[in-house]
Structure 1
Amino acid sequence: MITDHKVIEIYCQIDDFMIDYDAVIKNAGIISDRRLKLRKRKFRMSDSEVMTMMVLFHLKSYRNLKEFYSTYVCKHMQDFFPKTVSYNRFVELQKRVIQPLSVYLKLRGLGKCTGISFIDSTPLKVSHIKREKQHKVFKGIVEKSFGTMGWYYGFKLHLIANDKGELFDFLITKANVDDRQPLKDKSFHDKVFGKIYGDKGYLGKDLFDKLFTDGIHLVTKLRKNMKQKKQEFMDRVILRKRAVIESINDVLKNICYIEHSRHRSFDNFIANLIAGLTAYSFLDSKPSVKIQNMLPNIGIS
């Protein structure tokens, strides 16, 4: 349940960030001559308010943004947002705050690596596979691919989380991109140190050697037809807890609602995804692995 205190907390954190963000843009941003001539009129709703509403939508049980804004925000949150605009105008304002919300997520919404990390990818379907030929919104952008649940049409979201259940990096790719490909890019794993646990889809000697050179130990289960190698006892134990990141995927899709098939533009898709990931960072309870509590039970001090 989202309390009034939680709403104020979300707004204050976002608004404090926007004060710093606007100052940086004003001092270091590049403004064209055309923009200098435009009338500098303040919007009825501030960017902080729009961003807060976008995050709240993903923390509530609503599955329709128009219903959430029209029946909940405009009627029951007038004390927090007294200067609401029409729904069509709100949708326009959403596009304006995609960039600052993305920066907020990257700088203040993500956690930090603790030395024990979990990696996984999850499909983001934008349309039913049977309607891929008729789908026009993402034509030429998305691809179809085969996953554990069969064929799907959309994107793929790659996530890295720590043992506390906090996301500290993410990447969006086309659906047909190999799970190992993002890890080969140093910019994706530059925040990772220690050990990172993945499923069998991350098996690969080249990837293991590359990550090991960068100071990262990749740990995965082995396939049945592979020569079995000895693994440390703690690695085998933590591998059994790798399902924590699959629980995170479940929370993102069913609570934070990052996936649906009603997008009308790519901007709408990005806004929905970024707001959903930001909403996850505000959850008080996240799927986690209590590593320290596991140590006494297995006889390790």
Structure 2
Amino acid sequence: MYDFTEIFCIVDDFFKKFEPIYWQFLKQENKRQRIRQATLSLSEIVAISIYYKTSQVHNFKMFFNLLCQFESKLFKDLPCYKNLIILINQHQLAIHALLYALSQEDESSYLWIDSTPLPVCKNKRIPKGHHALDEIASRGKSTMGWFYGCKLHLLMNQEGEIVNSDLSNGHIADLKKVEDLVNGLSATVYGDRGYISQPLKETLKEQGIDLMTYPRKKYESDLIAIF
């Protein structure tokens, strides 16, 4: 487990510059002139969420109890369990902004791209319709079969760290998210057969991205026949 003070210092240094922009953005999006401040600062909320992920505790309620028992002195007014969950969920955008800012500092030359389905219901409920996440969920197909939900697109470096991420509808093809994920980068990107596209490869080449993919099965059989 990492030291909470160390995590907080990194987070707080970022939000000293970013927080005014963040609150202004929320006011514009919510069309409200005033947003009620929480008992915890934005840096504390984000630091707690990161601290939980770096801990070896896999249950947030247990983590919260340990936080109250051993780290409560670090906070002026720690909210209750329910309110803390609400605060963390409300500020997912801030967490993503921090992740994006930190990922820009990592100029790895070799990256891996992939996606994974995030189903919101079981397959047997797909024909009946499912109203959860209607605005972003849709029916899609992965290597594991049909699902109803979203897709998480990830770009990772050789250390297994997330360089960039994006969320899309379930039916969105992996190819359509590549340019967004690698925007502003210059590296060799490795992907599976779902990213095979000569036009995309040529477009990325002009941006300094070398897209490497596995050959299609047809080409593999041709190579085996040759050798």
TM-score with structure 2 length normalisation? 0.79
Could you say which residue in structure 2 is the equivalent of 1:48? 43
Instruction: Check if 1:153 corresponds to 2:155.
Output: no
Instruction: Check if 1:12 corresponds to 2:9.
Output: yes
For structure 2, the residue ranges without an aligned partner over 5 or more in a row are: none
The structural deviation recorded for 1:166 is 2.9
- In structure 2, the CA distance between the partners of 1:194 and 1:104, relative to structure 1 (3 Å rule), is closer
Contact residue 103 and residue 164 of structure 2 kept, 8 A: no
Residue correspondence of structure 1 range 1-301 to structure 2 within 5 A: 2-3=1-2, 6-24=3-21, 35=33, 43-69=38-64, 71-81=65-75, 83-109=77-103, 111-132=105-126, 133=128, 135-183=130-178, 185=179, 187-226=180-219
Bigger mean CA deviation after superposition, 87-96 or 173-182: 87-96
Contact residue 136 and residue 168 of structure 2 kept, 8 A: no
Contact residue 120 and residue 160 of structure 1 kept, 8 A: yes
Contact residue 111 and residue 166 of structure 1 kept, 8 A: no
Contact residue 14 and residue 98 of structure 2 kept, 8 A: yes
- Report the 3-state secondary structure (helix = DSSP H, G, I; strand = E; otherwise coil) of the residue aligned with 1:225: helix
Q: What value does the CA root-mean-square deviation take over the aligned residues?
A: 3.1
How many residues are paired up?
219
The structural deviation recorded for 1:157 is 1.4
Using CA pairs under 8 Å that are at least 6 residues apart, name the structure with larger relative contact order, 1 or 2: 1
Bigger mean CA deviation after superposition, 105-114 or 189-198: 105-114
Alpha-carbon distance between aligned partners in 2 of 1:21 and 1:141, rounded to the nearest angstrom: 27
- Report the 3-state secondary structure (helix = DSSP H, G, I; strand = E; otherwise coil) of the residue aligned with 1:85: coil
Alpha-carbon distance between aligned partners in 2 of 1:140 and 1:84, rounded to the nearest angstrom: 34
- Report the 3-state secondary structure (helix = DSSP H, G, I; strand = E; otherwise coil) of the residue aligned with 1:8: helix
Q: Which amino acid aligns with 2:119?
A: K
Contact residue 196 and residue 216 of structure 1 kept, 8 A: yes
Contact residue 112 and residue 189 of structure 2 kept, 8 A: yes
CA offsets per residue over residues 205-231 of structure 1, 9 Å max, x none?
2222222233322211212313868xx
Alpha-carbon distance between aligned partners in 1 of 2:32 and 2:200, rounded to the nearest angstrom: 48
Contact residue 8 and residue 43 of structure 2 kept, 8 A: yes
Alpha-carbon distance between aligned partners in 2 of 1:143 and 1:30, rounded to the nearest angstrom: 27
CA offsets per residue over residues 111-130 of structure 1, 9 Å max, x none?
53332222111222333323
Alpha-carbon distance between aligned partners in 2 of 1:47 and 1:10, rounded to the nearest angstrom: 13
TM-score with structure 1 length normalisation? 0.62
% of aligned pairs identical?
26
- In structure 2, the CA distance between the partners of 1:151 and 1:110, relative to structure 1 (3 Å rule), is farther
- In structure 2, the CA distance between the partners of 1:198 and 1:47, relative to structure 1 (3 Å rule), is same
- Report the 3-state secondary structure (helix = DSSP H, G, I; strand = E; otherwise coil) of the residue aligned with 1:138: coil
Q: Which amino acid aligns with 1:223?
A: R
For structure 1, the residue ranges without an aligned partner over 5 or more in a row are: 230-301
- Report the 3-state secondary structure (helix = DSSP H, G, I; strand = E; otherwise coil) of the residue aligned with 1:173: strand
